Amino acid sequence: MDIQHNPRLALNRSIVLHIFPSFGYGGQQARFATLAAGLCDEFRHHVVSLDGDVTAQALLSGNAPVEISDYHAKKSSLASISNITHFRKLMTAVNPGLLCTYNWGAMEAVMANRLGPRIPHIHFEDGFGNGENPDSQSGKRIATRRFLLNTSTVVVPSRTLETIATDVWKLKSKRVRYIANGVDIDRLQGAPSAVSTTVSIGTLGCLRPEKNHLRLINAFITADRDKRASLTIVGDGPMREMLIGSIKVSNVEDRIFLPGATATPEDAYRNFDIFALSSDTEQAPLSMMEAMAAGLPVVAPNIGDIATMISDENRALITPAGDDDAFVYALAQLIQNPTERAQLGAANRAKARKAFALEPMIEEHRALYLAAVQSNG
């Protein structure tokens, strides 16, 4: 286990142990980085990445008291004895006042805690990964969440997930807490980049199967028949090589770019004219909030809370889930209409400032953490 020490952890703060399936770049990790900085006066954090990826450490503020370690968890259909044994030893060694787990991939840590030491526990569900379908979830996963999370606080960032947690997983409503994500509006509303004759379409996020960037690539090629636009996919992940191969086969290497992950997303948004999401599943995507705050029009499928998050003016370009033709049409419409891009971008910026402020998110998490830690006092 490779542990990266932060000297600020020597300060007397409550320790929070965070178990992430991955600490690679993603919305969940970006939110944690923001919270770690915002809560640095009360809490220090020990982060464990179960796939060994800790690249999101680049998102952490220098004043955030965070220690990071990796543990290459064994793959299992539900539970591995060695994983559970490891988590119990880790909990004893770290001795946290609070355990935070994230998504299905951290469920073995929830099992370990239920067996003992029974640390106060908050579980964060941000959405569904590859192999999970929110509309037809496996009975085993439903039953596991129902049993293991029935005494925990479960935090969700979308109303859609809130409904799933109570109606499908059958968790008591008092156990489920909706906390909207927030973004740094002022940081994202910086000066725009230089004017270009090429329309820049962009997206930002981990290159995972459920993000379906191949759909975006194919839609872009079809929508931009006049070859007046470019597409930039910012991020890294397991689908990178497949996407590079597809771009080469389609002979569009001069118009589609994969620059890798970034620790400064605001710089990426400033170079976009249009933000596009092509995911099979989302809940309340942080990248879309950031794009709206940056004043960008959005094309995305109608999944999760996207249709209610977007401004009223932009809602017509939120296309039916699975309707690739509608997605192409919406993308083409924005490519061809600079006036509409500006109008929708301004409306999205106003909606973001009203709905996605950072401070309420930080304060709600602060109150939640403090209540949990004090319950163990």
> Which CATH number characterizes residue 169's domain?
3.40.50.2000
In the chain, which stretches have pLDDT less than 50? Answer: 1-12
Whether residue 1 is contained in a domain is answered as no
Whether residue 2 is contained in a domain is answered as no
Phi, psi at residue 300, to the nearest 5°? -160, 160
C-alpha 198: how far from its chain's center? Answer: 29
pLDDT tens-digit profile of 263-300? Answer: 899 999 999 999 999 999 999 999 999 999 999 999 99
Burial of 109 (0-12, 13-18, 19+ CB in 10 A): buried
Q: Based on the domain organization, do 11 and 156 belong to the same domain?
A: yes
Position 39 scores a pLDDT of: 92
Q: Based on the domain organization, do 161 and 91 belong to the same domain?
A: yes
Q: Based on the domain organization, do 43 and 90 belong to the same domain?
A: yes
Count the domains in the chain: 2
Q: Based on the domain organization, do 88 and 174 belong to the same domain?
A: yes
Domain that holds residue 246: 185-355
| Region class of 71: left (phi > 0), else alpha (psi between -120 and 50), else beta | beta
Position 325 scores a pLDDT of: 97
Q: Based on the domain organization, do 300 and 159 belong to the same domain?
A: no
Distance CA 211, CA 46 (A): 28
pLDDT tens-digit profile of 66-86? Answer: 999 988 888 877 789 999 999
Whether residue 111 is contained in a domain is answered as yes
Phi, psi at residue 174, to the nearest 5°? -70, -20
Whether residue 368 is contained in a domain is answered as yes
Q: Based on the domain organization, do 86 and 210 belong to the same domain?
A: no
In this prediction the pTM is: 0.87
